[in-house]
Every structure is written in structure tokens, then in C-alpha cells.
Structure 1
């Protein structure tokens, strides 16, 4: 270390001769025609050589996009290598003859066609912002928008483009149209930005709310802007100087902006009437705008990347984001359609239907935009009131009652009225309140998680299952304490256990949701393409393992629910109509969950066997793993489950033996896979026949049926693939090579995101 310290530096400096060599180059030597001479180094331990030719020759051999990285070239060296006055890194760098700001004349009159061109470009930038790009690369690149926002206006009188003495004259109609539209656009962005910031989202990943120290007309009321838009529409209608076709195009754009502003102002309200119709009306106005985009004339000078130099930003200048008009209008149409569909969540039927609605809504392709997802969050949890009308306790108690505790004394609201501490009802109410306080946040986190993007849903579920595991342990203690109140009689069955078997309803409820989330984590891995082809057999085996565990748990729940509901006539009279409905719902939901788990288990088992055979035949590609092996990869995949007590994690050696089935014949494995697909097909066909009430998908029955039928199509395709592989294996015999080629389809080529059926093609 001492050789690199100050003594060594002093020794090298002492060996230098200041008077030797050419004069010291000036600060602008980089701009001279001839490069500076190499430095003269007087050190016997250093040998210098010119590597220009070797470096150039090596660089020419690199493919386009190929990167060579020195592991010892750290971040410190990278920052030190940045060049000042490089246009890519220095926002203050100016080319020869370039000015710091754009010399744009805001007083010049614009043609009506140019107004259409600017408005359409602003709409593209607005949608680019909704897609996740920052304002600095989209809307703020408009010089007209920048003119309105600087300095911060406090009234409409301070928002004119032309701020010279000539402004005392009447503003041209074209500029008033553009000004009114721009003001409406900025205020619309303010409402959207405020809504997104008030909900749970991921900055830079989902949406960029940073305004770069610019005020989005915070001090200007939206009523004044709407009035200006209405006045401009009236002036445009009475004008005879603009051709009819151009006038209609401008008219439709002003009306669109006014409608959009009105919608975003009331969209977050859970009581405002007609919001869904407003979104539908806004969407119906888009075709008229789309059909007139050809009338616009672009004005590229009105947009500039130089505006970024005046924004409060710590990043280098970035290029303007260009989104095509087709892409922008398609995104806007989806936004209107999804926002209108999100309002259907207010049609509450039961907690299970609510979960189904949210999960199917967020699984749409493409996924709803961030603004729509934050609106849905607000509808669900705003002010900690579910859908604006129900308490968290009401939804939580209903979910428990319609699954594990139908018509139970533990959920009787009359227990809350008892004030005697020694009364069993008082103790039961106290214990149940403890459980609710622990379960409410964990329960609502599932819905809140579903409102995120698909990658975040899986990542968050990996953390929340730990909370459910802890909740299950806490619920077991409470279940034991509540037996004194319920006077539960255990089941004595020596074939199952030598110990008495109790229901444990609260812990069973928590265990069911934990199992369901574990299945979602593994299944979303297929959707997000996390697994390599050679991992698919093991991961599908784990899906069937979790599904079968859920099946056994559902059977246990069914046993105790059936026993509790098989009461005498006097008991049925005591629980009343509401209690009888809860018993029926508990049985129906158990039947639905059992049928769904059976379909998942059978289908996953079939695909696991199919991929095992394909791997045995050498038809699956396997990427090299120089820094890992199958065991290490399995630990990474199962990392979210390492801290879970039940179900137990399957050890890797045991998993390998169960998946590879080395003792089984290939044809026998394919035969079992065919039988499993037949069982899965029967279960999926049964699901597809259920109505909205039986499927607990009221409010989203159409989407639910489509989801089931897509899985059914994948199941039928899997059966065809299994038959094809079996015939090829039979034709090849014991010693021959199977003449097949297997391909793993991408997400867009699958019937269902969670069921990856390989494409098998015969080869000569």
C-alpha cells in the first residue's frame, strides 16, 4: 500500500524535469488540429507504447451493441471519465452558433391547421406521460406550455402567450384556442398527478409525479379554465374565417379537453352520479378527433429539448419522447374504457366476488394505466371505508362467515353489547376483535397488492405470505381460547389421528389464503417468464403440490362446516334466514374452490410430466450455468417459502426424484399425463358452466368465463401435444431418436399466461 501512497508520488514528481519537453498545452488543446504530444515519463519501471492501432482493430471486431466491461472500472472511475461540454452529459453545452434558449416568437399568428398539429402533438405527449415518461420529456417540452407556467400564474390574466404591449389588443382566435386547450391540459395533469400521488404506486417504475419545481396551475381554479374553454367554443362557432372542416376539428378537440377536465375533477368521488357515462362519452368523442388528425400541420419549432435546462433536474438532458398518434389514441381509448369498467366495483355482492373482480381487472391485457389503478385503490380503501359504504369489519366478517364460520356465535354482533367481563360473550367479542385487528391489514393488503403492476404483485406477495404465516400462528392460539365459548366437540377418528381433531376455523381461514397466495407466486412466475425451459417441470410439479395441499385443507374445512350446518330444526330456526344463507354460501364457495384446485392440480401434474418427458428426450434447451447449478436455482425460486412453516418446503433431492421419475417408463408417464389432462378438462368444463352466483364472480362473470375457457383451450392443446409426443416415442422405439422439435411459446402465443403448453413440431 505504501508504494501507492504519498512517498511514491513524491518520488515520481521529483524525477520529472520541468524544463524538458514541449511547452505545457493550453486549456483548449482539445480543439486544436494536432493532438498534444505524449507525456514524457522518466521511470525505469514503466514502458509506454502506442496502442491506437491495436485498440481500433479490436473495436472493429465487436458486434453492434456488444459491450466490454472491465470489472475493476468502478463507479468512481466512471464518474471521473465524464467529459464536461459533452452534449450528452452537460445541459449547458452549446454547439457553434447555438443559443441558450429558443428564440421563439409567441406573438406570431398561427394557421388553424398548425393549431391542430400542436394540439395533437400535446395529446401524444400527455399519453406518453400516462405511460410512465416524465413531464420533462413530454408535456414540458412544449414552448407554449413553458410560456404559460413561467412565471407561476395566479389568474387567467397572466397566461397570455404574447406579453408585449401588443397584448392590449384583442388576442387572435387561433392563439386563444391553443391557450384554452393548454390551460385545460395542464389542469387535467394536476388532477391526475394529485390522484396518483395520494395512492400507493412506485415512482419511476409506474409513474413519474415529479413536476420539476413547476406549478401545474395550482392557484388557478378549474372553473375559470372551463369557462374559458366554453367561451372559446362559442367564439369558434361564430367564426366565419375558418373552413368548416378545420372548425369541426378544432371544435371536437376543445370539447374533448373540457370533458376530460370535468371527468378527472369528479373521478375520485365515490358519490358523484354519472361518472361512468362521462367516461363512455369521452371515449365516444375520440373517433371524430382521430378522423381529423390528417388536417393538422406539425410545428416542430414549438417543442424543444432546451426547456429542460430551466427545469429543476439533476439528470442530464434527455431526448423528447415520441409516441405515435395511433399509440396515443389507443392508450387513451383503453384508459377511458378501463376507468369506466373500474366503476363496476361499487356493485358489491360479496367479498369473494370483490376479490375476483379486482384480480381479473388487473389481469387485463394490456394492464390498466396507473391513473386507473390508483382510482380503483381509492374506490376500495379511500378514508379506510370499503367502497365508501362498508367498514373493514363488515367485509372481513362476511368473508369468514361465508367460508369457515357460517351462522357462528363468534360473529354475532350482539356480543359487542355485553359489558360484563366475566360473561363468555364478552370474552368472545374481545378475542374476535383481537383477531380482526391483526387480520384486517393483512387481508386488505391482498387487494392493495392486486392494484399494482404485475411484477410488483408477485414481489409483494412474496413478502405478505410471511404475514399470513404469522397470522395463522396467532389464530391457532385464539382458536384454542375461543373453544371455551363455543363448547366445540372434537372429532375422534383413529384412522386420521390418535388425538382429538378440532376445527381451528380462524387459523384454517388464514391457512387457505396463505396457500392461495403461494400458488399465485409460482403461477405468476410463468406469466412473467421467470423460469428457464428446463425448470418448467419442477415448477409445475410445485403448483400441483400446493394445489393438492389446498384440496386436503378444503376437505378438512368442509367436514367441520358440514357438521356445524347439519343442525336440528330448532337450530335452523334460531339462526334465521341470514344464517341459512351463510351456510349455503360456505358450502358453495368450498365446492367452487375444490373444483378450481382440482383443475389446477391435474393440469399442473400433466404439464410437469410432459416437460419431464421432453427433457428426458433432449428436446428442451438448457442454458449454460457457469456460476450456479440446479440446486442453487431451486433455492432462489423457493426463497419466498423458506420462512413458511406449513406447507413444508420439499427438499431438492426429493423434488428431483419426484419430478424426473427415473424409475418410470416414458410411455407410462405420458399415459398418466393424458389422464391428468382429461381430469383437468372435466373440472374446467364444470367451472365454465357455473353462473355468476355459483362462481362467486358477480360483476365480472364475463371476464371470469373467458379466463376459464382460455385455460380449457390450453388443456385441450396439452392433450394434443401429449398424444403427438407419445406417437413419436412409440414410432422411435427403444433405440431410435424421437423426430420432434419442441418450442416454448411466448406470452402472446399462449392461450393462458399461467399454462405454458410447449409447441411440438415433427422434423424429418
Structure 2
């Protein structure tokens, strides 16, 4: 078209016209054809060697892991051109067998009988993953990409049919004489692995637990075989290279610019897939765990120890669905069971006994609002447990938003307890601690909100000391709750063992937080005009107007009026030593490990809890160069303090002073 000319046609909009422009930028212009993207035409019926089939299957696993890592289907799975041309490699269209030697090394069954079912299994795995991920337990775009680009994921095809096709592929591989033993074993392992992953995604973990465990073992066994037998990279002229087109998104319906996703190495692919299997194993163990505290602990450990088991968005969604599917808890329990566990795991007594005491010794003019209290618990507990498997920023926001409801529950329980004649009731002391249980969960959420700020590097240098001070304040209230509740809990119960562990752990955390706060106190800006807006902006979640409708004061609310007196009080503590405070924390943590006092609800995750304690001990070692006295605080060189979430998510490390480095 000449400059200044235009053309009108039906249904051709301004958006269509703008989309037709080519700006010459490969990352944004999907219509721009660059030299690297010009490829020979792809023939899906081209015969392939068994090692080429293995290479294609391995590469498809790599792209599958990239999709689970958050990339688009059009940039990963759909770059495998067989996903678009399955109809052309139907078994019914397979050519008759050839007699030449060259064709004998490339039997057509490898494409029509082996590769086709594997590609179908890949697409069906994506379909089942998509269905799980679309439950909104994890967020589209934040955690995964839902765009299908109008490409079929075989949504209407039954899983049983694809499994039968994969089984037929295995039968052919085991029965044919056209393959050598090494490649027969290699193909069998890859077909079986694809089949097993498809079965794992389809299985209901509560229907047949032993079968689910057997599938995990089968997948692990095949993964070992695959790792020990890598196919060679096909030569440059091999048709296997044409099976993948990184620029295929140009021909698909997509709203995202073209991006070439780097392919993982085979070792990285199998390592990622093995981590996925480990996540399924943890899901299997959690499905048999009937403790709310254990579920919460495991979710927290995945945040506290990010390098232990890295869960994909699919697994994090599956964890949430396993705990609560919208109808039942853990596939068989009702909300009443969850409320009972809520109080039993904290007080060591059943919820029914608490309700019976309240009803028998109620003194209020109206019946006790038990059902109203239960409704609040219903709204809080399941989302709280599921929220542990959100991505870190969304998990933090979820915890912050739930604080009002936790305080509302605390207020209601306090009002209920106030109208119970606890003097004459046999369980009066235990009933009196019911509000404390709600407060414990609320304070735990606040602690996670504050410490996650360090892990996500949200705090500015001026905000860090204030955050450690507030964390110490919250931990102080948390410790008081444990001291109040401990005398009423049965001594031989798991609840008592957990209280003992938590009291020791929080004592160590408080000592570390105070030591870090005092050492970095000079970073605080004591200019009111600068400190006040920064403080209220950072802790805005604690000043929501909904609190004004609740009569009981908020416990452990951040208060700027308390910060300055606390700074003055600590600075006047002549004999306080930040280094000694950290040493005390280290002694407490070592004592927990040596005495194996790992709490009552750690269960199968006791080893993980030890790793967490060991990480805190390393953090204490990293803080050993904090000032040894208050006199040294004034001259403490803050440039030696380094925050690195990869070293420890919550606490900094302090380098040795220059004088000690020179001496050594």
C-alpha cells in the first residue's frame, strides 16, 4: 500500500490494523520472520531411530517442567510439533513394513505406536494439571499460565484410553525384535514414566493409598533407569530437531510476545522431576496426617526451608485440594472434626468437653453463642491451612487479611468465657484458656508476616530495626500465652510437648531479634515526620477500621508510641550484651536438638524441624560479631551487617571487625 492510502473491509477493526504492523522487534513482533526461525517443513511421519525417539521424549519432559515453572504452553509444550499433528500419525495410517536394512533401523511403529501415545499422555497430563490449577488455589499468571492458544489438550479423551495406548506401546517395545536391548529398556522406562505420571495426576489419593504409593515407587525406579541411559544428541541433520519449533507461537492464538525458553539439561530435567515426585510423596504423607498443627508446620517449613523441597504451583494446588476439597476435610472429615482438632491440639482436651462445661455452667441471659463461634472457626481454619501453600507474597497478604477475623474470634471467646461459672466447674481453668488458643494462632500469623518481610526483602534499612523490635514484642506476647496455657494442659499430652518446644524456640527467636534490633538501632530515623508515615505504611494491615467494631483491645498491635520508650530503655541497659543474647539463643537451640525435644506435632517431619533449628544455629554463628556491650553499640560499624535471604531468610550475618581480621 502506498503512504496515505487505506483499505476498508467488513469486520476489520482498528485493533486488527494495529496488530498487523511489524515493528521489527523479535521479542514483541510475532509477525517478524527472522533468519533463525526459517526452518524446513516438518513431516510427522518421518521414520526415526530409537535414540531419536528417546531424545524427543526427554526434551518433552524438559518442556513440561518449564510449563510447571510458570512459562506458557505456547513457549514450551506446544513447541513439540507432534502435539499439533497427532491426526497424521494415527496407527491406521501407518505404512506397511519395509524390507530394506535402513528402514529396519527406523521401524514406523516407533512413531505411530510409541511416540504418538507418549505425546497424547503429555497433553493429557497438561489437561489434568490445568484442571487442578484452574481451581483458583494458586493464581493464574502469578504461579502458572492458563492460556491454551486454542490448542487441544485432549480434554474430551478419557484417561483410560490413553493409558491403554501407552500400555500397547510398552507391549510392542517388549515384544519387538527391531530394537536392541539397551534402547528397548530406555524406551520402556520413558513410556512407563509417562504412564505413571498420568496415573498419579488422575488418582484420588484417598481411594487407594497403597496404589498411589506403588505408582510413586514405579516412577522413581524408571527415573533411575532414564538417568543412567542418556540418549546422545542427534546429529545436526537429524529430523528429530525439526520436531521442536521454538517459534511456533507465531502461528498460534496468543496475547503474549514470543519468547524462546531455554531448555533444561537432562540432569536438571530429571532433578526437577524427582523433586516433583518428592512433592507427591509429601502429599501422600500429609493425606494420612490428621493434625492441623502438622499441616501448618509443613507449610511453614516449605517457606522457611525453600531449598528442601521446591513445590510447583501444581503441587501447591494439590496440597490445598487434598486438605479441603470444598466438601470434606482430608476426604472424610467434617468441619466439626476440624474445630475439635483446633482446641485439642492446643489444650489437650476435646472440644465436646469444653462445650459441655460451657453449657452446664453458663450464667449469661441468652444461650451461649456456640454456633456463631463455630462459624467463625469454619471461615478461618481451612483457609489458614490452605494459605500456607500460596506463593510467598500472596501468603503474606492472606495472613494479614485474616488477622481481623482472628481477633474477632478471640473477642467472642473472651466474652463466652466471661459468662461461665469457672469457679464451680471441673474444667474451668481449661475453658478459661480458650481465648488464648485463638490468640496463639493470631500471634503466629503476625510473626510470619513480620519475618516474611525479611525473607522477601521488603524492609528498607531504616525499617529493619523497627521490624525486629516489633517481632520481639509479638514474641513476648506469644511467650506469655504459652506460660498461661501450660499449667492447664495435661503433662503427658502431645499438646504439652508442643508448647514446650514452641516456648523454647520463641525464646531463642526473641533473643536474636532483640540483639539485632539493639545493634542496628542507629539505622532508625528519629525524625517524627519521616518515621511516622513509614511506620503506618508498613503496618497498615494492623490499623484497619474493622478493629473499631470489636470491643476488646487488640493484642500486640504495633504502636509507634511504644517504640521510642523501648529504644531509650534498652540504651539505658548498661549490662545488656547483644552478643551474649545471641549466645543464649544458640544454647537454647542446641538444647532442643540434643534433647530431641522437637514438639508433639512434628511427626514425620522431625528431621525437617531439625534442619530448621540448624539453620537458626548457623544464623547465631553469623551474629557472633555483634557488639559485646552497649558501649560497643555506639561505635558498631553497620556496613559489616549483611542481609541475604539465601544465607538465612530472617537474620543477617556480621563480618569480623577489621582489627580481628588483621590479627588473624
Q: Which residue of 2 aligns with 1:289?
A: 226
Partner of 1:747: 645
Distance 1:477 1:175 in 2: 71
Given that residues 135 and 210 in structure 1 are in contact (C-alpha distance below 8 angstroms), is that contact kept between their aligned partners in structure 2? Answer: yes
**For the residues of structure 1 that align with 2:352 and 2:126, how far apart are their CA atoms?**
51
- Ranges in structure 2 where 5+ consecutive residues have no aligned partner: 7-15, 98-106, 548-552
Give the match's secondary structure for 2:390. Answer: coil
The answer (yes or no) to whether the contact 1:233–1:251 under 8 Å persists in 2 is: yes
Cα offset for 1:97?
13
Cα 1:696/1:335, change in 2 over 3 Å: same
Matched, 1:188 2:125: yes
- Counterpart Cα distance in 2 of 1:259 and 1:118: 18
Q: TM-score, normalised by structure 2?
A: 0.82
The correspondence of residues 608-757 of structure 1 with structure 2, limited to 5 A, is 608-612=517-521, 615=523, 629-643=530-544, 645-647=553-555, 649-652=557-560, 654-656=562-564, 658-659=566-567, 664=572, 668=574, 671-689=576-594, 691=596, 694-718=599-623, 720-722=624-626, 725-726=627-628, 742-750=640-648, 753-757=649-653
Cα distance 1:197–1:427, how it changes in 2: closer, same or farther (>3 A)?
A: farther
Indicate if the aligned counterparts of 1:137 and 1:318 stay in contact, CA closer than 8 A: yes
Contact 2:641 2:653 in 1 (8 A): no
1:213 to 140, 150, 167: 150
**Consecutive unaligned residues in structure 1, runs of 5 or more:** 1-23, 29-78, 149-158, 417-421, 492-500, 563-579, 617-621
Q: Which residue pairs with 1:72 in the alignment?
A: none
Match of 2:297 in 1: 356
Q: Is 1:302 matched with 2:247?
A: no
- Report the counterpart of residue 344 of structure 2 in structure 1: 401
Residue equivalent to 1:551 = 479
Instruction: Please say if residues 497 and 597 of structure 2, whose CA atoms lie closer than 8 Å, have aligned partners that are also in contact.
Output: no
Q: SS at 1:681's partner residue?
A: helix
Secondary structure of the residue aligned to 2:646 is helix
SS of alignment partner, residue 117 of structure 1 = helix
Aligned partner of 1:175 in structure 2 is: 111
Mapped partners of 1:275, 1:749: distance in 2: 36
How far does residue 692 in structure 1 lie from its aligned partner after superposition? 6.9
Match of 1:442 among 348, 363, 380: 380
Distance 1:502 1:334 in 2: 44
Is the contact made by 2:643 and 2:652 (CA closer than 8 Å) also made in structure 1? yes
2:73 is the counterpart of 1:135: yes
Mapping of residues 560-575 of structure 1, within 5 Å: 561=488
Q: For the aligned residues, what is the CA RMSD?
A: 4.1
Aligned to 1:10: none
The partner residue of 2:513 within 604, 615, 621 is: 604
Provide the rounded CA distance (Å) in 2 between the counterparts of 1:532 and 1:424.
51
Distance across 1 between alignment mates of 2:364 and 2:177? 80
User: What is the rounded CA distance, in whole Å, between the counterparts of 1:685 and 1:474 in structure 2?
Assistant: 40
Report if aligned partners of 1:146, 1:307 keep a CA contact under 8 Å in 2.
no
Distance 1:271 1:97 in 2: 50
1:409 and 1:96 map into 2 onto residues whose CA distance is: 74
Q: How many residues were matched structurally?
A: 624
Whether the 8 Å CA contact 1:130–1:207 is kept in 2: the answer is yes
Measured at CA, do residues 80 and 444 of structure 1 come closer, stay the same or move farther in structure 2, by a change above 3 Å?
same
Equivalent position of 1:56 in the other structure: none
Q: 1:259-315 CA deviation, whole Å, 9 max, x = no partner?
A: 222222215445442313322331232232233334242733222245334433233
> Structure 1 residues 182, 207: closer, same or farther in 2, change over 3 A?
same
Separation in 2, partners of 1:259, 1:606: 52
- SS of residue matched to 1:209: coil
Distance 1:147 1:535, change over 3 A: same
Check the 8 A contact 1:355/1:447 in 2, yes or no.
yes
Q: How does 1:355-374 map to 2 (within 5 A)?
A: 355-361=296-302, 363-366=304-307, 367-374=310-317
Residues 1:140 and 1:660: Cα distance change in structure 2 (over 3 Å) = farther
Matches within 5 A, 1:7-406: 25=3, 84-86=21-23, 88=26, 89-94=28-33, 103-148=41-86, 159-161=87-89, 167=94, 169=96, 172-176=108-112, 177-198=114-135, 200-266=137-203, 268-297=205-234, 299-348=240-289, 350-361=291-302, 363-366=304-307, 367-404=310-347, 406=349
TM-score (norm 1): 0.72
**More moved, 638-647 vs 175-184:** 638-647
